[in-house]
């Protein structure tokens, strides 16, 4: 058996705890159906840990750093997605509606299980070559993450097709939403 060296005041139990966490990750990787979360994020975080970096940025495009905004609420990457094929567009307007308020969008997104946030938008942007062409005529808001800009306005991430690419931007939540827009959720 290899000898375990203990550094400073760190107890042997801490090393066993870390080893247990690694064993659980291995168990999940080997289970039928594979790792149930975002495998690319896991690989990225493991590489950072190997390099001794333990504070990965929450977002690739972090508006708190980029523009001084404040993160109000965030669903993280739950539910996790690993393929665009897992997703479906969701109509969130009732018959005859052309417009709804941002507050109503928040309610409907939760009710429809279509409350994806900023991390989901970033994941889609990285995988935009897999997004169906049929989605290009719509505007995709992500109300699961709410940002407060410097003027006190609430904003949500959104993806929009323009000039041959998907672009990540931010919509004023309180300006409301129009009927050409769709939410995303996991396919049933």
Nearest-angstrom CA–CA distance, 110 and 103? 11
Q: Which residue has the higher pLDDT, 11 or 98?
A: 98
CB 104 within 8 A of CB 144: no
Q: How far apart are CA 180 and CA 98, in angstroms?
A: 8
Q: Are 90 and 111 in contact (CB under 8 A)?
A: no
Kindly state the percentage of the chain with pLDDT values over 90.
Answer: 57
Q: What is the pLDDT of residue 129?
A: 95
Q: What is the mean pLDDT of residues 24-32?
A: 86
pLDDT tens-digit map of 129-180: 999 999 999 999 999 999 999 999 999 999 999 999 999 999 999 899 998 8
Q: Is 34 helix (H, G, I), strand (E, B) or coil?
A: coil
Confidence band for 181, pLDDT divided at 50, 70 and 90: very high
42 touches 35 (CB < 8 A): yes
Q: Round to whole Å and give the CA distance between 54 and 67.
A: 24
Cα–Cα distance between 152 and 93 in angstroms, integer? 27
Q: Is the pTM of this model over 0.75?
A: no
How many whole angstroms separate alpha carbon 186 and alpha carbon 188?
6
- Check if the beta carbon of residue 72 is closer than 8 Å to that of residue 63: no
């Amino acid at each position: 058996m290899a000898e375990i060296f203990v550094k400073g005041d760190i107890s042997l139990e801490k090393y066993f705890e870390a080893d247990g966490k690694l064993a659980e990750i291995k168990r999940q990787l080997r289970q039928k159906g594979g790792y149930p979360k975002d495998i690319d994020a896991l690989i990225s975080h493991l590489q950072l840990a190997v390099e001794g970096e333990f504070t990965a940025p929450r977002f690739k495009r972090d508006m708190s750093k980029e523009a001084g905004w404040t993160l109000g609420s965030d669903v993280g990457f739950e539910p996790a997605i690993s393929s665009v094929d897992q997703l479906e567009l969701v109509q969130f307007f009732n018959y005859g509606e052309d417009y709804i308020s941002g507050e109503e969008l928040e309610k409907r997104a939760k009710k429809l299980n279509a409350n994806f946030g900023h991390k989901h938008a970033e994941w889609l942007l990285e995988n935009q070559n897999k997004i169906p062409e049929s989605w290009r005529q719509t505007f995709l808001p992500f109300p699961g993450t709410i940002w407060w800009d410097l003027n006190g306005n609430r904003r949500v991430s959104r993806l929009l097709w323009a000039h041959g690419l998907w672009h990540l931007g931010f919509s004023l939540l309180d300006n409301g939403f129009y009927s050409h827009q769709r939410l995303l959720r996991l396919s049933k």
